[in-house]
Structure 1
């Protein structure tokens, strides 16, 4: 049976309306979605709509929704091939498909389409149908509607299109990918010629107009600033739909106020333009990419970039960028480790799982600080085992990172996830460190208003304390080490405090890479940069010189230096619960015991580290002081010197057991 649905007049009527998106400075932004820039058909030259009629539905003005002559022709082809591939859809049917139905090619869907199309033709005139069609049809490259497409491709409004340009736009819609002007120029030119011939054949243009158009060179615009604006606004509209629990049609005739910063966007766009040419792989393929900048104070997304639609929200393997979030932050927050705690980096086998370090080597005993800075895999896995996988997953959930049911193995510590994490969620999660343990979802939107002034959404702070501020600071301090001498050391000469973590994910366990990250933050901004291979095939694998520590970090450095050229960020603020203390290097290096050094020890036997006052190492024994102290306190009991020494040895043994070595 077929569940028929009726015509949704609200959906059709909303097509003449538009969504306006404003930047942080209240200037309008490019938005080329379905409800971007509407145009009235009466404002267009006669040949513009007729170009679409000529190639898409030449009997549009004669039929009542279905072109039965065309349907029979398509049906005969389908019977010959035993398939259902021929479309034969009229402009009216295409309008219904784009507003009411999915793109599946089944007989049931086609019958539903016919049913609703008949209702459409009864309720709207041909001119109204054609106008709404031109305002919603997809022209590729994220462009919906003829007005948006005309401005984006040719830098002119639709009313100023010439015949050659109109025919070109009509050519694209048959298959926006196949006739993409930036990738498949020859295909598009051949299709445009076919449109012009159809216009001439149907009497829509004269022979003189045809000759002029066929000899007119069509030049496409490459305005990247407008493209970046549209990327931002597409994400803003998508987020707005989530906030109002509705769809784009519910936002028609609304104004969306965003945090878009033109200067920041210009910085991120120019930086990618400068570095991308150097990232081409041996097949001549450039990587896919994405970048996002968050203002820590307002938890606002002020700029973003992506090579393909939705890269920012596409889930990928986060590689080692997950380690501070899934491993070290929860371990420190539960007082299980300190930056100075020692971990043995050695070959391991956990029920057949034998992880390796990136360089294939083992460092022996290393501190947590060294492990995080060098992105040591064995140390991360051992720490995850100590805190427990369930505790790690629960911690990530508090940061709005919801993992798959299959993400319950030790590979979680290395970013080996079933579905992965989006760059948006990953970068957003890092703000918890910059914001002293407080997490709040980042947003592109300040508020949404109807054009008559009614507020339908208002951004409201909703901070949550996820970790202690001393935990956040300890992670930040260690990630500053990573930026100075670890995997993100290309940031070492930044003239301001910056914390960073890199990550690199290999292609099918080969020597080639599929994903490369650098997530960084200062006291002002958190930035996520990703270069990768969305196709996941060998031809698109990253060049050998592209790892998290190379180009993503170089891009990060350039963006930060540009942001802070005239106004550097202030230093990270150290909480009162964080103290500096000297550790005993003799015990540390010889016995792998973490104890505080005696104040009288020579400098060469001590090393300074930072700790939370809630998780200080035990105090080392000063033999002279301890003997005197014990002798005084036990004098009344008349204990012998040997008895005092035995108690000291027991005391030292007990304190050593508190050291976190594993």
Structure 2
């Protein structure tokens, strides 16, 4: 009679449950619909680079296959929750009868709900247990639903789904989230003690540590060949329930993860994994190299750096290191996208524009001497960080050696507004107009991101053609011409020329590589930003070093800050891969050039039609700059033969670009007269008609006196930018 009633009830409820969509759900459909609370960022090789929590409402880990769950946990779960799991067909009628009999006599019992029945309740919202327990109808439906599951699913699939869907303590759902949060490990590594605590939480997820430990002790005793120390288990359980080791984000690409989750497509948002263009081995090497170099710079007040590697052909980002991680006090700031002053790294685009417009050639002579440019804010006087001006130098030397004055003179020819437009064509969306920046734009006074700057250099690598960068694969680049390909080729040839840069960086500079590369360094005002950006035949690499706070570094130049990281990454990329110089495009010719006394003869590249065999300046063409001297009563007069300071003039503002190591900088003072003594801020420091001064930021008074100390002339000047800390003529107090 009981058997007939059971069959009739089962048939009735099966008919009732057929309409439920979940009742016909397959194991694979349930697994595919499982959505972790984390998004995984994968490398192009399929390796997990970063895990980032994107769902704050619940804590789900990744779906764990049953084979990846520790045997101790599987055994403990079955023994604790459903001893006859592998024998029944969804409902343990023996346990159900015992539970009914116990309820009849008002005895406490654990109930007869099997793992399969519990899974049915997890799959169907209508069967979920309320605060007052399940109703009779819910229990009947749950019974039939469990039998339906057993007909369509294997036992291992039921157990696997249950372990991934069962709620544990608090927001934790599934064994992966529990294992990583409470025990700091994957589910396959759980031992018997950890498994016992996990199973105890299934039945009492919100119980106190003491109750959980008591239940875990009973579970542990049921496991075969297991030592049971319940007193130690009590301490262990208390500690585990207080632990929260499962961080919101972990990995080696945190900034990429945030970037992609912010801009995810609807399809990517539905997925718990996003495959990127990043190379996992390269990303690890780049991060390690960056952190190691910053440790070597300890004591120089620098804690942040960023790096990006681009594939020249596709624009794919192969490495993206946004910060120095634990070394930084602002690790959340993404140095790849942050706006910073690029210093001299803008010069290649300026010279490229001037060459493309046929204003200069690579052999044109530009004067590197004291320059005074009138602006609305007063005189703008650019200065080199070197012992002295170089005089007449070719554009090749001026760019490769990163001389500031020739760059400003070139910008005078091009105009700040035209150069501003050129920079925007190169993908640098400057905030202000060219007139706002003025002539300081030649020395990098605007703000750009490392990503945009590196991509602009990638355009030089591609013959002046620019396309957007991408972090996702299979994106087709859309190209546009940003610079004349002939000018781009000549600029690349200059930046790859070790002899041309030797005047500033020497012949054994870290900029030189054993394979073909073109590279430029840059340092912003007050040493707040340090850059090295360059390309090989296949890759473009950009590096920034500084402080996210904007604080200046101490004695860190382009060759000591960013360049060693750049060189190491380039070396890694070309361990086995060659890099060859590009072929000259049509419309470019190479001819021999003579320079007289200015530079050695050489072969030089020209735009077709601009070539000439000789570039030289005679002594009669030397640059002469008229200067003013102060008369006895302070009036500005020009007096031939009177002792006076001829350079600099009063009101001079010296703008220093610290792209060259600061201890090599000098400002040249010139005067006419005899038996002269130089004073700076009242302190004697030199004799004669000329003197060299290591500059110090601030306002200064420069004087010349006779042998008796009578002041013959004086000028007032201001130095803006970085200086050598503690120089001999530095002010005793900050100004």
- Normalised by the length of structure 2, the TM-score is 0.52
The answer to whether structure 1 residue 277 and structure 2 residue 295 are counterparts is yes
Distance 2:344 2:431 in 1: 18
The answer to whether structure 1 residue 338 and structure 2 residue 328 are counterparts is no
Structure 2 partner of 1:411: 440
Structure 2 partner of 1:30: 50
Greater mean alpha carbon deviation, residues 300-309 or residues 358-367: 358-367
Structure 1 partner of 2:565: 555
CA shift, 1:401, in A, is: 1.0
Structure 2 partner of 1:529: 543
**Local SS of the residue matching 1:474:** helix
CA shift, 1:499, in A, is: 0.6
**Local SS of the residue matching 1:289:** strand
| Aligned counterpart in structure 2 of residue 573 of structure 1, from 583, 588, 591 | 583
CA shift, 1:551, in A, is: 3.4
Structure 1 partner of 2:553: 542
Q: Which has the higher strand share?
A: 2
The answer to whether structure 1 residue 264 and structure 2 residue 282 are counterparts is yes
Distance 2:495 2:429 in 1: 24
Distance 1:560 1:389, change over 3 A: same
Greater mean alpha carbon deviation, residues 367-376 or residues 425-434: 367-376
CA shift, 1:234, in A, is: 3.3
Distance 2:270 2:212 in 1: 33
Distance 1:579 1:125 in 2: 84
- Normalised by the length of structure 1, the TM-score is 0.58
The answer to whether structure 1 residue 478 and structure 2 residue 494 are counterparts is yes
Distance 1:366 1:480 in 2: 18
Distance 2:476 2:178 in 1: 32
The answer to whether structure 1 residue 583 and structure 2 residue 606 are counterparts is no
Map 1:316-395; keep pairs closer than 5 Å.
316-325=340-349, 327-345=350-368, 346-351=370-375, 352=378, 353-359=380-386, 361-395=388-422
Greater mean alpha carbon deviation, residues 285-294 or residues 26-35: 26-35
**Local SS of the residue matching 1:31:** strand
Distance 1:27 1:288, change over 3 A: closer
Distance 2:318 2:211 in 1: 51
Distance 2:586 2:444 in 1: 33
Distance 1:469 1:125 in 2: 72
The answer to whether structure 1 residue 612 and structure 2 residue 607 are counterparts is yes
Distance 1:33 1:270 in 2: 25
Distance 1:372 1:149, change over 3 A: farther
For this pair of structures, how many residues does the alignment match?
A: 444
Question: Which whole-Å deviations, capped at 9, do the CAs of 1:587-620 have from their partners, x for residues lacking one?
Answer: x74xxxxxxxxxxxxxx99543221214324889
Question: Which whole-Å deviations, capped at 9, do the CAs of 1:179-202 have from their partners, x for residues lacking one?
Answer: xxxxxxxxxxxxxxxxxxx99699
Structure index of larger Rg:
2
Question: Which whole-Å deviations, capped at 9, do the CAs of 1:11-63 have from their partners, x for residues lacking one?
Answer: xx99856645432224444331415983499999xxxxxxxxxxxxxxxxxxx
Structure 1 partner of 2:429: 402
Distance 2:241 2:179 in 1: 18
Greater RCO, 1 or 2 (C-alpha within 8 Å, sep 6+): 1
Distance 2:344 2:492 in 1: 16
Distance 1:320 1:438 in 2: 22
Structure 1 partner of 2:105: none
4+ runs of 1 displaced by more than 3 Å? 13-22, 26-29, 35-44, 124-135, 146-164, 198-223, 229-238, 254-257, 486-489, 604-607, 617-621
Map 1:230-309; keep pairs closer than 5 Å.
230-238=254-262, 240-241=263-264, 244=265, 251-253=269-271, 256-281=274-299, 286-305=302-321, 306-307=323-324, 308-309=331-332
Question: Please, which runs of 5 or more residues in structure 2 have no aligned partner?
Answer: 1-32, 70-128, 132-164, 195-205, 215-230, 325-330, 617-735
Question: Which whole-Å deviations, capped at 9, do the CAs of 1:349-406 have from their partners, x for residues lacking one?
Answer: 3222232223374222121111111211111111112111221111111222111126
Distance 1:27 1:617, change over 3 A: same
Distance 1:445 1:381 in 2: 40
User: 8 Å contact 1:22–1:257 — kept in the other structure?
Assistant: yes
CA shift, 1:338, in A, is: 1.0
Distance 1:380 1:479 in 2: 15
Distance 1:395 1:380 in 2: 15
Structure 2 partner of 1:516: 530
Map 1:142-181; keep pairs closer than 5 Å.
147=177, 150=180, 154-156=184-186
Distance 2:239 2:273 in 1: 42
The answer to whether structure 1 residue 502 and structure 2 residue 531 are counterparts is no
User: 8 Å contact 1:16–1:132 — kept in the other structure?
Assistant: no
CA shift, 1:543, in A, is: 3.6
Greater mean alpha carbon deviation, residues 316-325 or residues 404-413: 404-413
Distance 2:417 2:207 in 1: 65
User: 8 Å contact 1:199–1:205 — kept in the other structure?
Assistant: no
Distance 2:582 2:455 in 1: 18
Distance 2:232 2:472 in 1: 51
Question: Which whole-Å deviations, capped at 9, do the CAs of 1:273-326 have from their partners, x for residues lacking one?
Answer: 4322211125xx55201111111122111112122232211111111111112x
What's the RMSD between the two structures over aligned residues?
4.6
CA shift, 1:214, in A, is: 6.7
Q: Which has the higher helix share?
A: 1
CA shift, 1:467, in A, is: 1.6
CA shift, 1:151, in A, is: 7.8
| Aligned counterpart in structure 1 of residue 251 of structure 2, from 227, 237, 243 | 227
Map 1:24-173; keep pairs closer than 5 Å.
24-34=44-54, 38-39=60-61, 147=177, 150=180, 154-156=184-186
User: 8 Å contact 2:179–2:186 — kept in the other structure?
Assistant: no
